[in-house]
Structure 1
Amino acid sequence: MTDNPAISIRDVRHAYGEREALRGVSFDVGAGEVFALLGPNGSGKTTLFKLLSTLAPVQSGMISLFGHDVTREPAVVRSMLGVVFQSPALDKKLRVEENLWCHGRLYGLKGAELRERINEGLGRFNVADRRRDYVETLSGGLQRRVELAMCLMHRPRVLLLDEPSTGLDPGARADLWRAIGEARRQGVTVVATTHLLEEAERADRIAIVHQGQLAALDTPQALQASVGGDTITLRTTEPGQLAAAIESALQLKTTALDGAVRVEATGGAGPDLASQLYSRFRDQIDELSIGKPTLEDVFIARTGSRFEEQD
């Protein structure tokens, strides 16, 4: 856990009828941290986002932001939040600066202070030259930048983003994360939900959510290192049979998934072990590959299933 956390979550449970979306989730997010909630669709991360943003009541457990309980002090919590939803919240029929003006007025800004905040936001996210453009004429990446500028106008302490790069091409996604980095440099704590493995790697820490529970929590580098050395993947028509044969002959732990067997090699033993496996089981192997652990390897190691299987 983190000392003096920006967000504290303790034993949070949430159900939709008979289905448990969250089953006792607990973790902290440090102030000024970029934190990713990573999981496939249906894992529970969006439910957690709704609870953090006060869009849904906490059924069981506790969530607080800078010591303020979301259940007892929702108005205080909302004043500290900037929220970027999966679907854009911009009015596409208004100009860029008109969207920011409306948002600022909702938060009680007016006059010279409102104009200053609009100019500050547009400049921070490099969209000042588009201030008179109608939002509907902007690319998806530019719209996300405008939305970030808008959501930070009231100077929130925490920025929540739900699948922020949905619908963006790779270039726009890179621009988005540069903008998130700018928000972080301003002292804002950032929490983003995502189902994109490569996107989660940009965060300081990652919480992997699986079937409503916390499967792993650490930095991307530490999570990948926890899997071990190289990961050897053996494609075969009979993964269960090959896995059993490897475990029996070499006393190695294997994972059989989706027409393949995965074997983790410790230290730098990957190439030698791959050669040994191919020599002994070549008649059962259609394809062999070796690589460094990825976040998907971490997910498989912690949950026993592929990342996409919950979709």
Structure 2
Amino acid sequence: MTTTTLPEPAVDVRDLRKAYKDHEVLQGVEFAVAPGSIFGLLGSNGAGKTTTVRILSTLLTADSGAARVNGFDVAQDPGRVRASISLTGQFAAVDEVLTGRENLILVARLRHLTNSGAIADVLLERFSLTDAGGRRASTYSGGMRRRLDIAMSLIGDPEVIFLDEPTTGLDPQSRLDVWDSITELARGGTTILLTTQYLDEVEQLADRIAILHEGRIIADGTLAELKDLLPPAEVEYVEKQPSLEEIFLSITREEPRTRATAEDSS
């Protein structure tokens, strides 16, 4: 009889606690992220998502509990944790004075990588930014800045990427572009921990979802497992109306001539 050994979690969090004065932000948070998966940490503002990510990325020290990233203890071996991760915050951390390509080259040089220009060109192509690579980042749309930010986070081939609310403030099309980028990263074997307050985001992206509420994980499982927590709703057959997102994307994706014809006929 053979036994199957499960791989060690890429991120393993046990009884994590953090308080600011009298306010206990994290109250025994626990979860595990499988290698090469997208893990969605879902919660409203103030639930403790960013605090959790800051602890895991060694920017903040927990009061108690333990956490390991890529097998390294975040408290005992922070240097090796930082060497194997990348963090993208809620707002794109690009230098607006530099071009997109220059931003990528700068990060590659800071990571002491050779052939920084070639690295930049590969990432510009991967994230559909080649045509904009020579423009200053200040001219980029929100979605383009976010894609550049994620591209910058990939320099050095980190095994784990923390994305802290990566689509905050983006328009619907830009959100979809970022979703595509995240999905592509996971297909390449990168482990992604995604924090968000958007239900549709984790529903579309995450292999596993943990719901963080008032500093506690109150549910953890696949989408199907979470759906099983509630009894099935009574089915009513009604005509399905398009959502506002579907309407917006349908209209904005029309060819200019089609839109002009529609306007002329009105």
The TM-score, its normalising length taken from structure 1, stands at 0.72
Aligned to 2:231: 228
Superposition map of 1:84-103 within 5 A: 84-103=88-107
How many aligned residue pairs are there? 231
Superposition map of 1:45-124 within 5 A: 45-110=49-114, 112=115, 114-124=116-126
Aligned to 2:149: 147
Q: 1:32 aligns with which of 32, 36, 41?
A: 36
Superposition map of 1:8-19 within 5 A: 8-19=12-23
Question: Is the contact made by 2:70 and 2:84 (CA closer than 8 Å) also made in structure 1?
Answer: no
Question: Is the contact made by 2:212 and 2:218 (CA closer than 8 Å) also made in structure 1?
Answer: yes
1:138-188 deviation digits (Å, cap 9, x = unpaired): 111111111111110110000101110011011100100100011112211
For residue 79 of structure 1, what is the amino acid of its counterpart?
Answer: A
Shift in Å, 1:123: 1.4
Q: 2:177 aligns with which of 175, 178, 198?
A: 175
Aligned to 1:218: 221
Following TM superposition, the consecutive aligned residue runs of length 4 or more in structure 1 with deviations greater than 3 angstroms are: none
Aligned to 2:132: 130
Q: Helix, strand or coil for the counterpart of 2:30? A: strand
Shift in Å, 1:221: 2.2
Gaps of 5+ in 1: 231-269, 273-288, 290-311
Question: Larger Rg: 1 or 2?
Answer: 1
Shift in Å, 1:219: 1.0
Structure 1 residues 271 and 68: CA distance shift in structure 2, 3 A: closer
Q: Helix, strand or coil for the counterpart of 1:64? A: strand
Structure 1 residues 271 and 205: CA distance shift in structure 2, 3 A: closer
Superposition map of 1:209-288 within 5 A: 209-230=212-233, 270=234
Return the alpha-carbon distance in structure 2 between the equivalents of residues 9 and 172 of structure 1.
32
Return the alpha-carbon distance in structure 2 between the equivalents of residues 66 and 172 of structure 1.
31
Larger RCO (CA within 8 A; separation ≥ 6): 2
Shift in Å, 1:200: 1.3
Shift in Å, 1:116: 2.3
For residue 76 of structure 2, what is the amino acid of its counterpart?
Answer: R
Return the alpha-carbon distance in structure 2 between the equivalents of residues 123 and 228 of structure 1.
46
Q: Helix, strand or coil for the counterpart of 1:226? A: coil
Shift in Å, 1:225: 2.5
1:207 matched to 2:210? The reply is yes
Return the alpha-carbon distance in structure 2 between the equivalents of residues 43 and 215 of structure 1.
11
Return the alpha-carbon distance in structure 2 between the equivalents of residues 74 and 124 of structure 1.
30
Return the alpha-carbon distance in structure 2 between the equivalents of residues 82 and 75 of structure 1.
13
Return the alpha-carbon distance in structure 2 between the equivalents of residues 201 and 271 of structure 1.
21
Shift in Å, 1:271: 5.5
1:177-202 deviation digits (Å, cap 9, x = unpaired): 10001111221100111011111112
Q: 2:190 aligns with which of 188, 191, 196?
A: 188
For residue 212 of structure 2, what is the amino acid of its counterpart?
Answer: V
Return the alpha-carbon distance in structure 1 between the equivalents of residues 82 and 15 of structure 2.
22
RMSD: 1.5
1:103-128 deviation digits (Å, cap 9, x = unpaired): 11111113x2x222212211111111
1:186-238 deviation digits (Å, cap 9, x = unpaired): 211001110111111121111100110000001112211321200xxxxxxxx
Q: Helix, strand or coil for the counterpart of 1:227? A: coil
Query: Structure 1 vs Structure 2: percent identity of aligned residues?
Result: 41
For residue 150 of structure 2, what is the amino acid of its counterpart?
Answer: L
Question: Is the contact made by 2:39 and 2:209 (CA closer than 8 Å) also made in structure 1?
Answer: yes
Question: Is the contact made by 2:108 and 2:156 (CA closer than 8 Å) also made in structure 1?
Answer: yes
Question: Is the contact made by 2:208 and 2:223 (CA closer than 8 Å) also made in structure 1?
Answer: yes
Return the alpha-carbon distance in structure 1 between the equivalents of residues 109 and 142 of structure 2.
25
